[in-house]
């Protein structure tokens, strides 16, 4: 078995693939203290021929397991290409950053853009906004389709953007219209990053927890005038890419 561990800011994703590159094991757990020990406990009774780590906490896993690491960019490119080998662009929305990755014809990355300076354009802002409105993330990701007013949130800072949400609540704007504003703000940032590259393919692969948000997928498709497709197992793409990297090392690909 070949394993990939993606230690993200919010969740840690674990994936195990076999010799046929079939996904056999998957695990998603919140990222907390001593995460390396939690990963070690999960893997203690598993067949581990190779382990590769990626994500924010990759070096913690490297130190504990003495395993190789790869960058998040390389892992997401490899994982996305595994599912959609015609894709030339990947948009990833994680808890604390967002990135756009340009791929070559073999799934390697050519270039990328990343926003890791502020949470306003990330999944964390979705969590903050939905919590402020007393809604579960799943519900918050759906009610935007019911919006009848296109409100906007202009701040580039998560703190001030949250203040704008509070202001909209105080003005008794509907939950669906506020939801639209939050999602539109994030979609605009992602689309702006994507437009910095020439988008030649007919569709774009969307990865990360944000890809589970149907309304965000819809808005991105509208803004980019491309078909935006949520990757299969979108939260696991980085971990899958890391596992594939380990497979390639062991099989000298």
Q: How confident is the model at residue 48 (pLDDT cuts 50, 70, 90)?
A: very high
Per-residue DSSP letter, 244: H
Say whether 237 sits in a helix, a strand or coil. helix
- The answer regarding whether domain 86-230 maps to CATH 3.30.420.40 reads yes
| 1-84+236-253 and 86-230 in the same fold | yes
Quick check: 220 and 206 in contact, CB under 8 A? yes
Instruction: Find, among 110, 70, 115, the residue nearest to 87 by Cα.
Output: 110
Query: For the segment 6-41, what is each residue's pLDDT rounded down to a tens digit?
Result: 999 889 999 999 999 999 999 999 999 999 999 999
For 187-200, write each residue's pLDDT tens digit: 999 999 999 998 88
Sign of the Cα torsion 72, 93, 19, 51 reads positive
What six digits make up the tokens of 91?
């948009």
- CA-to-CA distance for 91 and 106, rounded, in angstroms? 17
Looking at the domain 1-84+236-253, which fold is it?
Nucleotidyltransferase; domain 5 (3.30.420)
Q: How far apart are CA 237 and CA 229, in angstroms?
A: 13
The residue behind tokens 């702006």 is: 192
How many CB atoms neighbour CB 190 within 10 A? 28
Which residue ranges make up each domain of the chain?
1-84+236-253, 86-230
Tens of pLDDT along 183-232? 999 999 999 999 999 888 888 999 999 999 999 999 999 999 999 999 99
For residue 156, pLDDT beyond 90: no
For residue 119, the model assigns a pLDDT of 66
The alpha carbon torsion through 234, 106, 187, 56 (nearest 10 deg) reads 60
């Amino acid at each position: 078995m070949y394993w990939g561990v993606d230690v993200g800011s919010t969740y840690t994703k674990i994936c195990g693939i076999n010799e046929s590159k079939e996904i056999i094991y998957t695990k998603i757990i919140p990222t907390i203290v001593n995460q390396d020990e939690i990963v070690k406990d999960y893997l203690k009774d598993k067949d581990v021929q190779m382990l590769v780590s990626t994500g924010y906490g990759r070096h913690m896993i490297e130190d504990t397991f003495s395993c190789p690491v790869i960058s998040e960019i390389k892992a997401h490119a490899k994982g996305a290409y595994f599912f959609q080998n015609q894709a030339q662009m990947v948009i990833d929305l994680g808890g604390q950053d967002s990135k756009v990755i340009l791929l070559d014809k073999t799934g390697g990355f050519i270039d990328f853009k990343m926003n890791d300076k502020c949470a306003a354009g990330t999944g964390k802002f979705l969590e903050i906004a939905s919590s402020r409105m007393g809604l579960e993330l799943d519900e918050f990701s759906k009610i935007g389709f019911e919006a009848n007013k296109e409100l906007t949130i202009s701040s580039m800072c998560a703190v001030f953007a949250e203040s704008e949400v509070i202001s909209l609540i105080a003005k008794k704007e509907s939950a669906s219209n506020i939801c639209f504003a939050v999602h539109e703000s994030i979609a605009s940032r992602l689309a702006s990053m994507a437009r910095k590259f020439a988008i030649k393919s007919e569709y774009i692969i969307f990865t990360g927890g944000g890809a589970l948000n149907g309304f965000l997928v819809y808005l991105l498709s509208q803004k980019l005038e491309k078909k935006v497709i949520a990757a299969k197992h979108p939260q696991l793409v980085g971990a899958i890419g890391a596992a594939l990297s380990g497979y390639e090392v062991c099989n000298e690909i």
